[in-house]
Amino acid sequence: MKNSISKTNLNNFNKAFSANKSAKISRNALVRSDINNIAMDWDGLRSVDHTYSDIVSNEMAKVTNQKASGRCWGFAGLNLMRLAFAEKYDLKDFEFSQNYFMFCDKLEKSNYFLENIFKTFDEQYESRLMMHLLNDPVQDGGQWDMFVNLIDKYGALPQSVMPESYQSSKSRMMNGFLTRKLREFAWVLREMNAKGAKLTDLRKEKESMLSTIYSMLCIFLGNPPETFDWQVKNKDKKLIRFNDLTPLEFCKKHVNVNLHDKVCLIHSPMSNKKTYQHYTVSYLGNVVDGKIISYANVEMDDIKRATVKSLKSNEAVWFGCDVGKMFHRDLGVMNIDLYDYESVLGTNFNMNKGTRLEYGDSIMTHAMLFTGVDLVKNQPTKWRVENSWGEKGGNKGYFLMTDKWFDEYNFEVVIDKKYLPKRILEIFNQEPVALDPWDPMGSLAT
C-alpha cells in the first residue's frame, strides 16, 4: 500500500466487509445498541457470585460516595481508617470528613505547585515539564504516600464536623477556578524572577498567593475547625463523647492505624522498569518536605500473597487499578471474561499488560479497598472490593473482581510491613529511581 488511501483500497476494504456475514450482523446490532449489551458473555455473566471464603470482620455495612469528584484515593484511605475506628468504639456506621481532607489536600497541592515553579524558573514555558506542571496543578487525585502526608500534618475529622459541600461533591468548577488562579500565580512569579526579584520578595509574594487560595477554599468548602466536640452512640446505645479536640489529636488518640507501617507495592511490567527495584515519581506529591512517592516494583505473586495474608488477618488493603476495563458498573463486576468484544468486532486485541502501559492503553484510574477474597485450595479466585460510588452498583456498593482481572488491571497495593518478607522490605532501602512525572505509575494522582 502507498502512503495514502486510494480508491482501489476503499473498494477492496468495502468488498472485504460486505463479504463478512459476522461483521454485518455486528453492524446491525451496534448501530442501535450499547456494545456492552451486545458483547456481554453469558458464561461471564452467570459466574457473578458475591460470596467469599474470607471477609474482614469489621467491614462496614454502608459504603461511601465520592460523587462527582476524583477523591477515590482519599476515600479509600479514610475508609481503611474508619474500619479500625468503628471497630474500636463498636460503631455501626461512621465516616471521616472527606471534605476536610480535600481542603487540606488542595491547600498543600497549591503550595507544592508553587514550589515546583520556583524549581523550574529556568524552564521555557512551553517545555514538556512546564506543560505537565501547568496542566492540572490541584487535581482531585493522589497516591498513598500523599494520603499519609495529609493525615500526619492535619489529622482527620468526623464527617458531621465538616460535612460535604456542593463543591466537594462536584469539584470540576472549583478545580477550574483554582487552576486558573495558580496558572496566573506561576506567570507572576516567573515574570518577577525574570526581572531580577529577590528570593525574599518572591517568597513573600507566594505567601500572599496562598492566602488567596485559602480564602477561595473556604468559600468553596467551608472553614475547617481548629477544635471540635463530637459525640456518637455505639451499637449498644452507649454515648461516646469527645470534647475540645484538634483534628490531629483526634486522629492520634482515637484511630488505631499506623500508616507508617504500610508500604506500597506495584506491578509494572514495562521495559523501562526492573522488578524488585525501588521507584519514585518526579514532581509528584502534595506536602512539601513530606514523604516522597515510594514504590517497590514486584511480581504479581508477591502482591497477591501479601494481600491474602492481610485479609486473612482481618486488615483491608488499599489498592489502585484501571477500573474502566472489562467492567460493568451496575453489576459491580470486573471480569476479563465478561465481554467478548473480539467476536463482535472481528479482531483480536493482543497487547499484554506492559505494552498497554507503554502505549497509553491502560493506566491507574481508581483507588478502592479489598475487604475480602475467595480462596479455593488456598488460591484466590475472586476479590471483594469496597468502592466509594454509593450503594447502587454491585452488592450494595461492594464490587467483585476476578483473579484474572487482578492480574491484568491491578497495579498497586498498600501492605503492612508485617505481612512482607525481608527480601521485599529491603527494596525500600535502595535509593529510589525517579520516574518521569508523566509515567503511568503516577497517573492515579493526575
Cell numbers 460535612 correspond to what residue?
163
Selection from 279, 269, 236, 311 nearest residue 408 by Cα: 269
| Structural domain spans, the chain | 54-445
- For residue 140, the SS3 value is coil
- pLDDT band at residue 240 using 50, 70 and 90 as cut-offs: very high
Residue 177, C-beta contacts closer than 8 angstroms, at least 6 positions apart: 216
Distance CA 424, CA 412 (A): 14
pLDDT at 49 over 90: yes
Selection from 262, 264, 165, 273 nearest residue 220 by Cα: 165
Give mean pLDDT, residues 169-187: 98
Considering the chain, what is the average pLDDT of its residues? Answer: 97
What are the pLDDT digits (tens) for 340-364?
A: 999 999 999 999 999 999 999 999 9
Distance CA 326, CA 353 (A): 14
Give mean pLDDT, residues 398-418: 98
**Catalytic annotation, residues:** 72, 366, 387
- pLDDT band at residue 256 using 50, 70 and 90 as cut-offs: confident
CATH of 54-445, one of 3.90.70.10, 1.10.620.20, 3.30.420.40, 3.30.413.10: 3.90.70.10
pTM of the prediction? Answer: 0.97
Q: In the structure grid, which three cell numbers stand for residue 273, read together?
A: 522498569
- pLDDT band at residue 446 using 50, 70 and 90 as cut-offs: confident
What are the pLDDT digits (tens) for 287-300?
A: 999 999 999 999 99
Selection from 280, 301, 317, 305 nearest residue 415 by Cα: 317
Q: What distances in angstroms separate CA 358 from CA 54, 245, 353, 432, one per listed residue? A: 35, 48, 9, 21
Give mean pLDDT, residues 371-390: 98
| Neighbour count for residue 349 (Cβ, 10 Å) | 9
Distance CA 409, CA 362 (A): 8
What is the DSSP secondary structure assignment for residue 164, as one 8-state letter? -
What are the pLDDT digits (tens) for 311-342?
A: 999 999 999 999 999 999 999 999 999 999 99
Distance CA 77, CA 79 (A): 5
pLDDT at 2: 87
Give mean pLDDT, residues 214-224: 98
Cell numbers 493525615 correspond to what residue?
151
- pLDDT band at residue 1 using 50, 70 and 90 as cut-offs: confident
Q: CB–CB of 316/369 below 8 Å?
A: yes
pLDDT at 115 over 90: yes
Selection from 136, 72, 171, 146 nearest residue 295 by Cα: 146
Q: If you compute the radius of gyration of the chain from its CA atoms, what whole number of angstroms results?
A: 24
Q: CB–CB of 77/318 below 8 Å?
A: yes
Distance CA 276, CA 273 (A): 9
Distance CA 224, CA 99 (A): 9
